[in-house]
Amino acid sequence: RSTLFPDPTLFRPGSLAELEPRLFSFNSPHGACPECKGIGEKFYFDPELVVPDKLLSLADGAVRAWSRKAGYYRQIFESLARFQGFSTSTPFCKLKKEAQELILYGSGEAEIEFDYRRDKGRYTFTETYEGVLGNLERRYVETDSADVRTELEEYMNAQPCPLCKGARLKKEAL
């Protein structure tokens, strides 16, 4: 048996689309990787850009992406600190790994009691926490504002697409 030609019994009729040039073009929706749309890269919120100075504490603005709405996010961090048992005055780099992961990646299924104070009163609610990175991702996907997208892109970086490994084509074409 030739190694150049595969065993014909491996292919069933209809198992692959008819071969045509557009299947091998990342510029065509028929050939482009569905995950990265043929770009070969995926953009993600980079923790190194979100927390660029790990010597800062949460209280001092370590999470750069959340430093503009300091009052609201400060109260979220205070609730997380009560839940996990750390101080918002501790430099980010000195927090335990579990606390850093909670802040960045969220609480998973664990529910946290949040305390939020405003001029009109105090609100307490319990829910899971999506994490800073999850929050940024959600806001990026949900916004219709080009300005918000541009602002959030400051915290993004590129990596090879996890599906096509940067090859830009569908699995079938590869």
Q: Which residue in the block uniquely carries the two structure tokens 């990026």? A: 140
Judged against a pLDDT cut of 60, whether residue 68 lies above it is answered with yes
Question: pLDDT per residue over 100-127, tens digit each?
Answer: 999 999 999 999 999 888 888 888 999 9
Alpha-carbon distance 95 to 107, whole Å?
16
User: Whose CA is closest to 152, among 162, 142, 167?
Assistant: 142
Q: For residue 155, what pLDDT is reported?
A: 96
| Beta-carbon count within 10 A of 96 CB | 12
In whole angstroms, what is the distance from residue 169 CA to residue 83 CA? 45
Average pLDDT value over all residues in the chain = 84
pLDDT, tens digit, for every residue of 1-44?
455 555 555 555 555 556 676 666 565 666 788 878 777 888 89
Distance CA 55, CA 18 (A): 57
Alpha helices in the chain (DSSP H): 47-50, 70-84, 97-105, 131-142, 146-153
